[in-house]
Structure 1
Amino acid sequence: MASMLKLCVNAGEHERRICPVSVVLPKSCDDWVNVRLEDVNTRKTIPCQMERSGRVATLTWLVSGLRAGEQQRVVARPIKRVPAVQGGVSVTDNKRSRQVDVSVDGSHFTTYHYGPEWVRPFLYPVIGPYGTQVTRNWPVVEGISGEATDHKHHKSIWVAYGECGRGRVDNWAEEEGHGWQRHRGFLKLISGPVYGRIVAKNDWCRHDERKQFEERRDMRFYALPQGTRLFDIAVTFRMTEGPVTFYDTKEGGLVSVRVATSMDVRNGGRIENAYGGVNEAETWGKSAPWCDYSGQVAGKHVGIAIMDHEANPRYPTGWHVRDYGLMTANCFAWRHYRPEAKVRGDMAFRKGQNTTWRYRVYIHRGDASKGQVRGRFLDFIAPPEVTRA
């Protein structure tokens, strides 16, 4: 068994403020159960988290305060017990209410609702900087003064698509004849000092609840400080029952957000994409690596960004994003986005095929510029390089 592992973190070409990094531990660390990570120069302990998947162990921590071009040397050592750490991410399954609560540093961040009373699972509330609720309450909570009450299927943050397979099953809307997403269990529920993780297995079903295919939804919530929130979501479809085609429609999104009504562009909010496009007229149907929606909530300026990973099919995604508060990553709606091109965005999946999309959701202060969304996107697609020292 190795007694230590020396590592070097290279910031690369831009500053790393609070950036998740992971490294696969070598086989010499196979006997390690718990790990202590320390900065070689300052000797300060860095909160870290080790997770095993089969024979592979991955160590994750947050790199902070590393300027462009700088390096940080750290050393990992095995320890018998995980030291007590204040804060971190707590993931708690409330089986009776069929809700999983996620708290960061003791403060409630969000709840994953998976009960059969809902057409599809979703995250609500979503609490960002200043304790603000950055997504719409309705229809989960009704009677909030001034809230828009259109599109009842827009539930905070969710995953859905509107024309799936034979019969073009509508697993986006909630009108008569809609499809369902049924929770079948949790593959992982993890709390820790660096991140919490929910891995859920869902069946996508026809209107009569016959299964079409499976989805694995892997959500990793990081322990960022001061109300800034960051989580990754990986959506994997497995075509268990037969071949399925996702037909071209704008009614869908593999990650979808309905922002708080006060953030809508029509109420003074702002949409901005990675290329500088502003509001619906310059962002709807446009392909971009990320899209951000910002505005006022209870007198505070906050924003939420969705980032598309370059390994995803059809990167960069197109955006179904509206001035009325919807923002969703939809890479299928080509005939809607570019009707003059006369091409369709259908995507066919064969039986047994597994296909994954990865996204990062970043909730920040201010607009895209103040929230430094561009830099956080680079953290996602080009994180600091970690090498053995």
Structure 2
Amino acid sequence: MRYLSLFACLAFSSAAQNLPIRFQDKAADGKIEVYVGSELFTAYLFDSDHSIKKPVLYPVISPEGNFVSRGWPLDPREGERTDHPHHIGIWFNHGDVNGNDFWNNSYERDLTKRHYGIIHHTGVKKIKESKKSGELITTTEWFDFEGKKLIEEESKYTFSATENLRIIDREITLKAATDLLFADNKEGMIALRLAKELEHADPKVNYTPSGEYTNDLGIKGTEVWGKRSEWMRLTGQINDENLTVAIFDHPDNHNFPGHWHARGYGLYAVNNIGSDVFTKGVEVSDISVPEGGKIKFKYRIIIASKHLTEDEMVEAALQFQK
């Protein structure tokens, strides 16, 4: 048998057991923190005054305690880019739902100049801790620029970890509160804004990024943008920690495998509803959902304290697809 299991194939022996996941419910502060043992991994941040315009996972911290996500605009760090204030941690949304832009909305936007949507956190259905994983189920509602409810969302987050590995699985169910059109748009869907150290080389910045994208066809660097791929591997280094940040699309998702909206400056996203843009009109991937209908998406994010090989990425993808 070529591979044993996800953890084994990533070169973590059975002695490197799953670590317990626990949560701290800090709803009064607009967040639910996620811990691996006693160490903060991330937080479901829903910001009760809605200034971030959608719930996010922020910050995102590596197994050795380095920030994988950019700090700005919430917690600026020296030398970071200060572009795209809507790029915060890990998020899920889309650039055109019934003509409403959920992607670009932020506290800096002039809402009178464009139809910006907003995603409101509405509740927590489940928090479950265990020695091997942790589960968080949340609900949100998507509203258009006039305040009309378009979508009822339920997201299940499953967190797991070993000493040198972190995994986030997210299953998203979107129920249409009215007839919906998810129109082709390059800006979507599951996304992460990376720390400056994981950007690609850029002579315009005064630091030396170490990031490199590789997709499942072996295409590297910024050439991955717009290409289809089942997964993407980003390798780099922060301080003395070698890192892989990998994102996996799922065969059950619409228009699998998705196109990658992955930029050298640190935007890292896979988009299942962008074919018209990425293929210059050769393909179309719009989705129409009638009132009361549902559509689901599944994604996995892995953060490993090593540079994963292609074989390890393939096996991780197979494990996720099972």
* TM-score of the two chains, using structure 2 as the length reference: 0.88
For 1:244, the aligned partner's letter is L
Q: Write the mapping of 1:229-244 to structure 2, written as runs, cut at 5 A.
A: 229-240=166-177, 242-244=178-180
User: Which deviates more from structure 2 when the two are superposed, residues 354-363 or residues 203-212?
Assistant: 203-212
**Change in 2 beyond 3 A, CA 1:358/1:233:** same
Residue of structure 2 aligned with 1:118, choices 52, 55, 68: 52
For 1:153, the aligned partner's letter is H
CA RMSD of aligned residues (A): 2.2
**Change in 2 beyond 3 A, CA 1:17/1:237:** closer
| Residues 19 and 163 in structure 2, CA contact (< 8 A), matched pair in contact too | no
| Residues 17 and 64 in structure 1, CA contact (< 8 A), matched pair in contact too | no
Q: Write the mapping of 1:342-381 to structure 2, written as runs, cut at 5 A.
A: 343-369=283-309, 372-381=312-321
Structure exhibiting the larger radius of gyration computed from Cα positions: 1
For 2:199, the aligned partner's letter is D
Residue of structure 2 aligned with 1:146, choices 79, 82, 86: 79
2:4 is the counterpart of 1:15: yes
2:189 is the counterpart of 1:249: no
Q: Write the mapping of 1:198-217 to structure 2, written as runs, cut at 5 A.
A: 198-217=136-155
Give the Cα–Cα distance (whole angstroms) in 2 for the partners of residues 344 and 358 of structure 1.
Answer: 21
1:300 is aligned to 241
For 1:277, the aligned partner's letter is I
Higher strand share: 1
Cα offset, 1:180, TM superposition:
0.6
**SS at 2:276 equivalent:** helix
For 1:114, the aligned partner's letter is F
2:134 is aligned to 196
Give the Cα–Cα distance (whole angstroms) in 1 for the partners of residues 229 and 18 of structure 2.
Answer: 38
- How many positions carry a matched residue from both structures? 302
| Residues 129 and 302 in structure 1, CA contact (< 8 A), matched pair in contact too | no
Identity %: 26
Structure 2 stretches lacking a partner, 5+ long = 202-208
Give the Cα–Cα distance (whole angstroms) in 2 for the partners of residues 272 and 15 of structure 1.
Answer: 24
**Change in 2 beyond 3 A, CA 1:380/1:139:** same
2:232 is the counterpart of 1:291: yes
**SS at 1:18 equivalent:** helix
**Change in 2 beyond 3 A, CA 1:150/1:351:** same
Cα offset, 1:111, TM superposition:
0.6
Give structure 1 regions of 4+ aligned residues with deviation exceeding 3 angstroms: 63-66
Cα offset, 1:95, TM superposition:
1.8
Q: Write the mapping of 1:122-133 to structure 2, written as runs, cut at 5 A.
A: 122-133=56-67
**Change in 2 beyond 3 A, CA 1:371/1:121:** farther
Give the Cα–Cα distance (whole angstroms) in 2 for the partners of residues 376 and 228 of structure 1.
Answer: 12
* TM-score of the two chains, using structure 1 as the length reference: 0.73
1:309 is aligned to 250
Give per-residue Cα distances to partners, 1:219-277, cap 9 Å, x unaligned. Answer: 0001x22141012101111002x110011110121x10111111101223100111211
